[in-house]
Structure 1
Amino acid sequence: MAAHITAAAKGGKRFNPHLTKEERRSAENGIWLCQIHAKLVDDAPERFTVELLNEWKRLSEQAARLEIEELDKGLPARQAADIEALKVYAGAFDRSAFKDHFHAEMSMSAFDQAIRDTVIALSTGTLRDRDGNVISQSIGRSTLENRSWREKIGTVIDLLNTIVRRFEIAAASGAIEIHGRGRELETYCINDRELGHWMDATRSEALKLFAEVLAEAGLDPLPFVPFRHFPRW
């Protein structure tokens, strides 16, 4: 609570008759105290003198100033960590699962794994290659300092997890028939035309959100055009 160092009116604690009305009401004559100490200070004015209260105020303001300065010093480092994390995340999108139309994927197993790997990269900051080897390590989405980026990346993760679940349902229901799953020569048949449109639209939304984050961070856009066009034979 706001308290006066010298009383606001004659008869109050530590009243200074030499101050003007404006000076008594000014911030220079005020100090923030908790309710308990505000009462204690007025109950024992001989103990809590004007000089002591001014010293309290000076020390508190100095401590607050130092804390702010330390936060300012640390801010560039935290921002730099966010930027480096975004660069790692961007590498997770540099796979055919985010470049080709769903019906043009070479391997459905590779598509499924790429989406899952991207979720892991965004969530943990660990980027792996197709063989599972760690190629980059940074901070995960929950550790990002920038709240807006953290929320947008969280939405991207939600969209990708939805793709994973939809893919599992499609494979289990026969909407996608996969033969030789996981083998070098894998074939598939998509029996649900709308599934491909949904996959493309959902990935587009995820890429759009991530592109917004890259732009806000002043980073280059993803170095590829999503959903490359392949001629139909």
Structure 2
Amino acid sequence: MTLARAIAIFDIDGVIRDVSGSYRRAIADTVAYFTQGKHRPSPADIDNLKSEGIWNNDWEATQELTYRYFETQGVSRDNLKLDYQALVDFFQSRYRGSNLDDWNGYICQEKLLISAEYLDSLTQNGIAWGFFSGAPRDEANYVLKKRLGLENPMLIAMEDAPGKPDPTGLFMTVENIENKHNLPQDLPVIYAGDTVADIYTVGKAKSLFPQRIWLSIGILPPHILAESETQVVYTEKLTEAGADLILRNLETLTPWQIQRLL
């Protein structure tokens, strides 16, 4: 990539694929199961938790929602015997499904939010790209390789780095992209994500390496777009977290738009 102008890195959930009926449904299912059917968190409940900026891991978010329900019932989390691994296993049985070799769960129903042609357009306009996600590697690659048809996507996943908003994974992705394309180490970096934790990640990167340009793009996930009031609240939270730009869909972040931002 001899004419590289910038590096663009993307979160996956809510940006590349719609997880409102998969990950988020699995969260609700799992909380309902571990509260014996007494509480099923709404999409707003999950959004409110995510807006705290530290619950990027959906298994941990599920556990936290379960704890908080019992606390409203006067039960201390210290007195709960909540088996985290059992919670993860139940979650995965919903998300991946019952067949470990040929997944048949909610993941199979996810809608793609971008096309491979969009990524090609970035490459053709001097924008190197990759992915930094808190999803497990095999689940991230399910959408990148099997659904989008990417052969060898540059990906830093759950197993590779601490969870967001720790920026370590973002730095690793940047370095891998630079090495792959033999790029200079001073190109502007754009990170697009749909949660407060994603925006915080860029803020931490800025504070650690202020000599480089870091831009955070907030993407409104599909489940937010159905109600205008919800959009306003969600947009405000991303803005307060420090987003430089907020968009309804990643594909509206065109090469022209990127050049304009820079």
Please give the range of the TM-score, normalised by the shorter of the 2 chains: under 0.3
Q: Which has the higher contact order (CA 8 A, sep 6+)?
A: 2
Higher helix share: 1
TM-score (norm: length of structure 1)? 0.23
TM-score (norm: length of structure 2)? 0.21
Q: Which has the larger radius of gyration?
A: 1
